[in-house]
Structures are given as structure tokens and as C-alpha cells.
Structure 1
Amino acid sequence: MVRKGFKMKLYPGMEAEYEKRHNELWPQMRDMIHEYGGKNYTIFLDRETLVLYGYIEVEDSAKWDESADTAINRKWWDFMADIMETNPDNSPVSVDLHEVFHLD
């Protein structure tokens, strides 16, 4: 199991909308995450900075990376692009975080 941490950023005033959209996560998106080996997925929001901190456990990093090219993932990126910082292809601007400590 690989633990992955990353950060993204919301646009001002989009906190409630971001949470709403994730509370209504499409079943196809949930299925894709599991199909590509993702589990124990959590996203935290720092309300002062609007930085989102994500954590996910994946079975295989290479397999997980392939999930970015699925149609449902691209559709989700397009759906979320109006409320957060994105790249030209609508993928979220995401910065990987370096793990410095873990305790089971």
C-alpha cells in the first residue's frame, strides 16, 4: 500500500460548493477510484488559506496514475474547474507532499 499526500487550492467563496460536490460524488467516480486501487481517501480544507490537503492510499502508484486518463476522471475535472485552481487541461493544480512521519 502506498500513502499519497497532496495539496490543491480553492477559489475564494467556493468552500461550501466544493464540499457539496464531494458529498454528492458520482457513483461512477467512486467506482473508478476503487477500480484503480484507491481507498481511505480524505480531503481536508484549511479555511484560512483555502488550501486542500488530500490523503489517499493506493495499491500501486503506476496503476493509480492511469486513472487520470479515464473518461469519468476527465469529466470530474471539468466539473470542478470553476471552483479551484486548475491546469490548462482542467486537472487540479496539485502538489505532492513529502511524508515525514507515519504511525499505525
Structure 2
Amino acid sequence: MQTRAFRMNVHQGREQEYLRRHNEIWPQLVQLLRQAGIEDYRIFLDEPSGALFAVMTHQDLHGLDELAAQPVMQQWWQHMRDIMPSHADGSPVAVDLRPMFTLPAL
């Protein structure tokens, strides 16, 4: 298993809409993410800044690199682009976070 962390942003005043859309995430998108090898995916909001911090755990052998080409992923990006900074292709602007500390195992 591997863990990745990254930061995105939500436009000011659109936090509730972001939450609502994720509470109603499309089942076909969930299935696609699971098929790509994602085991756990959590997104946290820093309310004062609008920063979203995501932590994703996925299998060592995964299909994350192929997600961008999938129609349901493209549709989700288009669905979300009005409430968060996005690239020209609709993908969210995301910055990888460098691991700095891991609690040692017992």
C-alpha cells in the first residue's frame, strides 16, 4: 500500500456546495476509483483558507494514471470546475504534499 497527500482549493463561499456534491458522489465514480486501486480517500477543509487537503491510500499496483482518460472522471471534473480552481482540461489544480513524518510502528 502507498499513501499520497495533496492540496487543492475550493472557491470562497462554495464549501457547502463542494460538500453536497461529494455527499452525492456518483456510484460509477466510486466504482472507477476502487477499480483503480484506491482503498481510502479522505479530503479535509481548512475553512479560513479554502484549502482542501486530500489523503489517498492505494494499492502498490494501481491504475491511477489511467483515471484522467475515463469518461466518468472527465464528467466529474466538469461537474466540479465551477466551484474549484481547475486546469484547461477540467482537472482540479492539485499540489502534491511531501511526507514529513510518520508515526513509527509499535
TM-score by length of 1: 0.94
| SS at 1:72 equivalent | helix
Structure 1 counterpart of 2:16:
16
Instruction: Give the letter for the 2:58 counterpart.
Output: V
Return the offset for 1:60: 3.4
Percent of counterpart pairs with the same letter? 38
Return the offset for 1:62: 5.7
Segments of 5+ residues of structure 2 without an aligned counterpart are: none
| SS at 1:43 equivalent | strand
Structure 2 counterpart of 1:64:
64
Return the offset for 1:61: 6.7
Change (3 A) 1:36 1:7: same
TM-score by length of 2: 0.93
Superposed CA RMSD:
1.3
| SS at 1:20 equivalent | helix
Query: For residues 71-90 of structure 1, what are the alpha-carbon distances to aligned partners after superposition, in whole Å with 9 as ceiling and x for unaligned?
Result: 11110000000000000111
Select the structure of larger CA radius of gyration: 2
Contact 1:2/1:61 (8 A) holds in 2: no
Return the offset for 1:29: 0.4
